[in-house]
Amino acid sequence: MTLEQLERMSAEQKAKTVLVVQDPFTSYYDARVVADFIRLAEKLGRRPVLLPFSPNGKAQHIKGFLNRFAKTAKKTSEFLNRIAALGMPMVGVDPALVLCYRDEYKLALGEQRGDFHVLLVNEWLAQEINARLSVEVSGEPWYFFGHCTEVTALPGAPAQWAAIFAHFGAKLENVSVGCCGMAGTYGHELTNHKNSLGIYELSWHQAMQRLPRNRCLATGYSCRSQVKRIEGTGVRHPLQALLEIIG
């Protein structure tokens, strides 16, 4: 759906719509997570719309290309501010990329950033479930592995995820771990491979060996890719577990 089509929507249509903000890592390398968020939104009675891809610039910022990042941020801010004016919630599935809009964009652009706001999945879900009934779900706990950027910037995120799971009758336990070893693009680079594995061994590996893999959940794309690379089998995003719980 184009921006012009969104602008022509009625007030009634807008009230039921949630806009999905794409990020390059999830959309291109783990697209199932985006598709599952769309399915989850539909199950909650919302009309999800996938916004056209607009570069986030996070990788440019990480590698120190600050002038290029500022140009990317300015262009994407203009796009997202125009979307925000329509009054529909915007949601992104990867914490590091969503928080980039709030922090790095503000540092790079100042007031030129504008007032657009992209929600994390848990922030949006917390708003959505306020008036909904709980569903009884039995079974063993799920285990939450937060992204470093997420749990540092928003220390209440694990508890918010746990409250969302509890709303649907499921138990979610926070697993206290350090960095998975990816650290942005660091762990993806061949020269850092050994160090990246060493960082992962400090906390993530022990937890993955101790807990049932199919019950482990990680919000960060980089974290999920690191687990799959080292352990051989990956873990899911919490939203994918919720989709299973809701049925």
- Residue extents of the structural domains in the chain: 3-125, 134-246
Positive or negative: CA dihedral 127, 130, 135, 140: positive
Residue 246 has pLDDT above 80, yes or no: yes
Q: What is the rounded distance in angstroms from the CA atom of residue 225 to the CA atom of residue 234?
A: 7
Distance of alpha carbon 211 from alpha carbon 152, whole angstroms: 24
pLDDT tens per residue, range 95-152: 999 999 999 999 999 999 999 999 999 999 999 987 455 566 567 999 999 999 999 9
Which tens digit of pLDDT belongs to each residue from 166-200? Answer: 999 999 999 999 999 998 888 989 999 999 999 99
Per CATH, the number for 3-125 is: 1.20.1050
- Contact at 8 Å (CB) between 24 and 92? no
Closest CA to 217 of 39, 95, 47: 95
DSSP state of 130: G
Chain centre to alpha carbon of residue 53 = 15
- pLDDT at 131 (0 to 100): 47
Spatial contact of 35 and 18, defined as CB atoms under 8 Å apart: no
Indicate the range of 24-28, 49-53, 135-139 predicted with least confidence.
135-139
**CA-wise closest residue to 179 among 146, 208, 154:** 146
113 neighbors 106 (Cβ within 8 angstroms): yes
